[in-house]
Structure 1
Amino acid sequence: MDLNNIHNVYFIGIGGIGMSALARYFYVNNKYVAGYDKTSTELTDSLISQGISVHFEDSIKHIEERFLNPDDTLVVYTPAVPKNHSELEYFKANGFNVLKRSEVLGLITEHTFCLAVAGTHGKTTTTSILGHLLFECNVPMTAFLGGISENYNSNLIINGTEVSVVEADEFDRSFLTLSPNIACITSMDADHLDIYGDASQLRQAFKDFSKKVKTNGKLFVKNGLALQGVTYGIEDDSDYSIQNIKIKNGTYVFDVKTPKTVLENLQFNLPGRHNLSNALIALAMSVEYGCPHQQLAKALASYTGVKRRFTYHIKTDDFVFIDDYAHHPQEINAVYQAVREMYPDKKVLAIFQPHLYSRTRDFADEFALSLSQFDEIMLLDIYPARELPIEGITSEWLLNKIQNPNKQLISKANMMSKIRASKAQVLLTIGAGDIGEEVKHIKKEFSIAS
């Protein structure tokens, strides 16, 4: 398909974080854009304010007349939409080009110089850092992000179309639609077992992705992964390695050893060794692309983060409130390491909303271990997302596995009173469901109190 011949783009599931980035991209490239989503959110409000038409009822009566010509219309849908969705069924039955988000990303990036970030953890932050570094080095690029960049208040960074920066998502094997020039793999921990069945199939998908890198391209891999490529790591013998780490006024200061030189006294403001690793691989990919070292150092120091990735909402001497998207045991471990490094002597309360019944079931013992590390743990009910309940898999069942006496099951209705009753000085909200919607209420309540 030639996207130059497409004048109208219709999105089914337009409010998703990846879908809305694509909608913005087509809109700024002078396509007519509209779409459906199930519920109104900050993302859909933002799209509407930008001039994109969004509706919230699944009905073909909302499809504008300009979208009725299959020759100049592209329909993009998310796999999260039910197969019996009436608008999706209509477009499929009437000869339209109907593609998944990942397939459209493949089309957009096909004729660009593509940098792709893969891995079960760290994709969004790494892609956001990489997009920021290239933008600050004035590269003519577009970055599609799986989160809202704090620097740009958007999930799309755009400065041209010659270079593309994308998250290579392993869910549903979506990343196999890409053919990047430079790619990285940050991790291959088991996840999405509802799709893959077992961890070996997931690892095989990452190996298949590694073969999608173009001839004469370059693959970066986290040191220790069973893959061939340029290695990167922290305080080790990798090809790209962070050395001499210090913390000054809450900021990391460190050196980076590259295959050709040493970059000294770099600064990075996000806490946690996992974020240092994300910064390192974004830097390495930017160096490989050809960005000047001095500009990269300045850009790295000015990076401020991604919303819901260790995002501070209250930061006083008496009370700290941090929100994070972590929804896998390894991600929770990374959050714990970061908060302990920053606040070694303070009591930490973690409120976790499990995401998906299948993930809760598949990693229950690992979740229990990672959550047990916090001083106090509160669990909300499981957020189902695309799944129906699985018998016996509940937050209460998970709570019983946690080996820490300071634990309890809570609801959104009693959350504020439970937080107030705690003596914790650091509050963490964690999870990929709708717990993020509670952040503004907590912030309002405890900003006054603190």
Structure 2
Amino acid sequence: MNLNKFDFFYFLGIGGMGMSSLARYFNSVGKTVCGHDRNRTFLTEKLEKEGIYINYHDSIELLPKWTISKQCLIVYTPAIPNHHKQWIYLKKYGKNIKKRSQVLSFIAENGICIAIGGTHGKTTTCTFLGHILYSAGIHITALLGGISENYKSNIILSGTHIFLVEADEFDRSFLYLSPNIACVTSIEQDHVDTYPKKEILKKSYIAFLNRIKKPYKKIFLCQEESFPLIKNAIYYSVIGKANYYSNHISIKGNKWYFDFHTPTETWKFLPLPIPGIHNLKNVTAALAISDYLKIDKEKVRKALFLFKGIKRRYSIHYQSKKKIYIDDYAHHPTEINALIHTVKKCFPNKKILGIFQPHLFSRTKFFEESFARSLENLDILILLDIYPAREFYTYGTMNSNSLLEKIKISSKNKEISTLSKVLEKVKKKHFDVLLTIGAGDIDTLIIPIKKWLYKRYG
């Protein structure tokens, strides 16, 4: 589809991370962009400041008249419910309607496409790589699944030679992409509503990898993951030797450093901007692709030193001699394990209080035992109600109480709370490190917690 023929773009669910990056892209190239979302958030307020009009009520009267013209493309997310009034109206009268993932694929067709897929690490790898390429002067458009702290946005825009995108497996969205270079960081069940069995998930990833095309036509895979054998794949590792690998990790004052090995040389003592072995995997993938593209080594090293992080990826919001507060997007048992392991490495012998908000009834039910085992690594747990997101039903009797019962932590050190009352509970706890964990609206706690910590501890 030729996107240049559209003058107007209307986004249903514009406040989502993937949707908002597309909205920013079209706004940046001079198109008229509007949208709808249920709630005003930090992200939607940023979009409004950039000149994008957003309505927050499900009313047909709020739709611009041009939404049903041939010059308008309506972009929607699968999270929009079928009973949504604007959605019902636009399905009936709109002339051009596409899913977010389809529109992403249309954009990516305009240059060399690098697509980063995987259950864990997509956003971190993509943001690392986007920052490296931008810093090296490459003309790129990077559409990210998170907010880069360097660019204060989920889009990095300096040209259209390379389009860097995330290949999202949810709803099989990544099967619209035909990248020139593909990277898959991991294959693990997560979206169980789409992939009830792991074999179904693997088949979808194989179908995605079969869509790569010339020029390049290259696949990068993490050697530690149980991928099916892919002919001519380039492997990277943080455990053993591979085409590209990282080792010799050292920690100095909570700062992590490592050596990176290419097929021809070793780059000594590179900084790891976000701590953790899982993040070392992500940066190794980004470095491997950078080296394959022949990006200057010194420019890559400088980019790593200047990398400021990603919002809600091991984000340290407060640190003093008495308290440390870290917020993280982890919403899968594997991610929670990695987060807590990293915190214990960085802050040994500290008492850790975690506030966790489960995301989706289906995910919580499917991984109930695994969630319980991962959360047991905390010293104190406050468990919030399940955030339903796109799900408008429960899985039988699935709720946070059911999960709490399975977590083998002393009853005096675990409890349920609502989002609105959790801060008052935190104030009564004895802890050294506080973690807020989850993918729902738990991020609304960040500012209140920071204000309390600064007021109480300076």
The aligned counterpart of 1:18 is: 18
Q: Match for 2:367: what amino acid?
A: F
Q: Match for 1:411: what amino acid?
A: T
Please state whether the residue corresponding to 1:192 is helix, strand or coil.
Answer: coil
CA distance in 1, matches of 2:443, 2:52: 24
CA distance in 2, matches of 1:411, 1:59: 30
Q: Deviations over 1:44-78 (max 9, x none)?
A: 111111111110122222222333322x2111001
2:308 to 304, 311, 335: 304
CA RMSD of aligned residues (A): 1.2
Match status 1:348 vs 2:352 = yes
Q: Which range is displaced more, 213-222 or 102-111?
A: 213-222
Q: Please report how far the alpha carbon of residue 260 of structure 1 lies from its aligned counterpart in structure 2 after TM superposition.
A: 2.0
8 A Cα contact 2:182 2:220, kept in partner:
yes
The aligned counterpart of 1:403 is: 408
The aligned counterpart of 1:67 is: 67
Q: Deviations over 1:394-443 (max 9, x none)?
A: 11110010112122112234312321222110000100111111111111
CA distance in 1, matches of 2:286, 2:237: 12
CA distance in 2, matches of 1:298, 1:277: 19
Pairs aligned (count): 449
Q: Deviations over 1:341-377 (max 9, x none)?
A: 1011111111101111111100000000000011111
1:414 to 398, 421, 431: 421
8 A Cα contact 1:75 1:99, kept in partner:
yes
CA distance in 1, matches of 2:183, 2:139: 21
Q: Please report how far the alpha carbon of residue 132 of structure 1 lies from its aligned counterpart in structure 2 after TM superposition.
A: 0.4
Match status 1:443 vs 2:450 = yes
Please state whether the residue corresponding to 2:194 is helix, strand or coil.
Answer: helix
Q: Deviations over 1:150-180 (max 9, x none)?
A: 1111011100112111110000000111111
Which runs of structure 2 are paired with 1:29-428 in the superposition (5 Å)?
A: 29-70=29-70, 72-94=71-93, 96-215=95-214, 216-224=216-224, 225-227=226-228, 228=230, 229-387=233-391, 388-405=393-410, 406-428=413-435
Please state whether the residue corresponding to 2:408 is helix, strand or coil.
Answer: coil
8 A Cα contact 2:23 2:33, kept in partner:
yes
8 A Cα contact 1:233 1:242, kept in partner:
yes
CA distance in 1, matches of 2:425, 2:242: 46
Q: Match for 2:176: what amino acid?
A: T
Q: Please report how far the alpha carbon of residue 95 of structure 1 lies from its aligned counterpart in structure 2 after TM superposition.
A: 5.0
CA distance in 1, matches of 2:195, 2:247: 37
CA distance in 2, matches of 1:404, 1:89: 47
Please state whether the residue corresponding to 1:421 is helix, strand or coil.
Answer: coil
Q: Match for 2:355: what amino acid?
A: I
CA distance in 1, matches of 2:18, 2:444: 18
Q: Which runs of 5+ in 1 are unaligned?
A: none
8 A Cα contact 1:191 1:199, kept in partner:
no
8 A Cα contact 1:250 1:269, kept in partner:
no
CA distance in 2, matches of 1:50, 1:413: 30
Q: Match for 2:67: what amino acid?
A: F
Q: Deviations over 1:185-205 (max 9, x none)?
A: 111111111112212111211
8 A Cα contact 1:365 1:401, kept in partner:
yes
Q: Which runs of 5+ in 2 are unaligned?
A: none
8 A Cα contact 1:268 1:303, kept in partner:
no
Runs of 4+ residues over 6 Å off in structure 1: none
8 A Cα contact 2:257 2:272, kept in partner:
yes
Distance 1:413 1:28, change over 3 A: closer
CA distance in 1, matches of 2:52, 2:136: 30
8 A Cα contact 2:69 2:94, kept in partner:
no
Q: Please report how far the alpha carbon of residue 271 of structure 1 lies from its aligned counterpart in structure 2 after TM superposition.
A: 1.1
Q: Match for 1:40: what amino acid?
A: R
Q: Please report how far the alpha carbon of residue 246 of structure 1 lies from its aligned counterpart in structure 2 after TM superposition.
A: 1.1
8 A Cα contact 1:13 1:36, kept in partner:
yes
